Chain A
Amino acid sequence: DGGITQSPKYLFRKEGQNVTLSCEQNLNHDAMYWYRQDPGQGLRLIYYSQIVNDFQKGDIAEGYSVSREKKESFPLTVTSAQKNPTAFYLCASRRESNYGYTFGSGTRLTVV
């Protein structure tokens, strides 16, 4: 079955450490997105990529970095510069501009 796989499901990080969240899709979608969701709140866009080797900042890109070396993969690195990284991180992909997003099951990051 096609879909988006995010790993790990839960991640604990010590303050001052960088961590990388994985996002892999086998849907052959061109566009991929990273969103952050805080408890009881909506989704905020961190970064997005519409094509391999290209990506753009979203609304809250500070303290995060991404890469898009392969169509299937769009990893997100949460750096130590991110002041409040504890959140639920969702990766999504989209086939074309007028289609809905397909989301992965998310990664819950906790800073300890």
Chain B
Amino acid sequence: GQQVMQIPQYQHVQEGEDFTTYCNSSTTLSNIQWYKQRPGGHPVFLIQLVKSGEVKKQKRLTFQFGEAKKNSSLHITATQTTDVGTYFCAGRVTGGGNKLTFGTGTQLKVEL
């Protein structure tokens, strides 16, 4: 079945450092979504990318969708303690109906 892998699994950074998580799918995706889950909380939708090579920004967060629509990345510039949490990508397989397959997640810890 379809698999969506994320790397790294964990990342510790000092406040102010940058952070990137990468998402790779074994199959082509019709779109990709990103979610953030704070410790003890539930996933919250951040953004959706649809077009090949698409880049979107939300303040310090930059999201990219690969040209082949099989990979994506989330980059955070100058991390803050409020960025702590687990970041998940979730992809919809082309022709696969309305199911989202979630990635394995990257847990980010930010130290002062």
Which residues of A are in contact with B by a Cβ distance under 8 Å?
Answer: 31, 33, 35, 40-45, 48, 50, 58-59, 90, 94, 97-106
Which residues of B are in contact with A by a Cβ distance under 8 Å?
Answer: 1, 4, 31, 33, 35, 41-48, 50, 88, 90, 98-105, 107
**A59 cross-chain contacts in B, Cβ below 8 A:** 1
Interface of B is mostly: strand
Q: How many A-B residue pairs have CB under 8 A?
A: 53
Docked-complex contact A98 and B31, CB < 8 angstroms: yes
Chain B min CB distance to A44 (Å): 8
Which 8 residue pairs spanning A and B have beta carbons closest together? A100-B45, A43-B102, A103-B42, A42-B102, A42-B104, A103-B43, A42-B105, A106-B42
**B100 cross-chain contacts in A, Cβ below 8 A:** 33, 45, 101
Residue with the highest number of chain A CB atoms closer than 10 Å, among B33, B100, B103, B105: B100
